[in-house]
Amino acid sequence: MAEASQEVSVRLGTSGWLCDDWRGVFYPEGLAQEYYLAEYAKHFHSVEVDATFYGAPRFNTVKKWAEATPEDFIFSVKAPRSITHVDVLSNNCMPKVNGFLRIMRQLRQRLGPIVFQFPYFSKRSGITLSEFLKRLKTFLDALPLGEFQVAVEIRNKLWVRDSLLSLLAAKGVALVMIDHPFMDSPQKLFTLKGVLTGSFVYIRWLGDQRTIQFKTELWNQTVVNRQLDMGRWVAPIKVSLARSMPVYGYFANTYSGFAPADVQAFSRMVL
Q: What is the residue-averaged pLDDT of the chain?
A: 94
Chain segment 51-74, per-residue pLDDT in tens: 999 999 999 999 999 999 999 999
Q: Are 68 and 38 within 8 A, CB to CB? A: yes
Domain range summary for the chain, segments of one domain joined by +: 10-270
Please name the residues in contact with 236: beta carbons below 8 A apart, sequence gap of 6 or more: 186, 187, 189, 190
CATH pick for 10-270 out of 3.40.50.620, 3.20.20.410, 3.40.630.30, 2.40.50.100 = 3.20.20.410
Give the CA radius of gyration of the chain.
Answer: 18
Q: How many CB atoms lie within 10 A of CB 167?
A: 16
3-state helix, strand, coil in the chain (%, to 5): 45, 15, 40
Q: What is the pTM of this model?
A: 0.94
Cα(53)–Cα(50) distance, rounded to whole angstroms? 6
Give me the count of residues in the chain: 271
**Selection from 173, 174, 179 nearest residue 15 by Cα:** 179
Q: In this structure, which amino acid lies at residue 101?
A: L
Check whether 104 has a pLDDT greater than 70.
yes
Chain segment 203-229, per-residue pLDDT in tens: 999 998 888 988 999 999 999 999 999
pLDDT at 28: 98
Chain segment 69-96, per-residue pLDDT in tens: 999 999 999 999 999 999 999 988 999 9
**Selection from 149, 53, 153 nearest residue 110 by Cα:** 149
pLDDT: which is higher, 271 or 27: 27
Dihedral angle of Cα 157, 158, 164, 168, to the nearest 10 degrees? 10
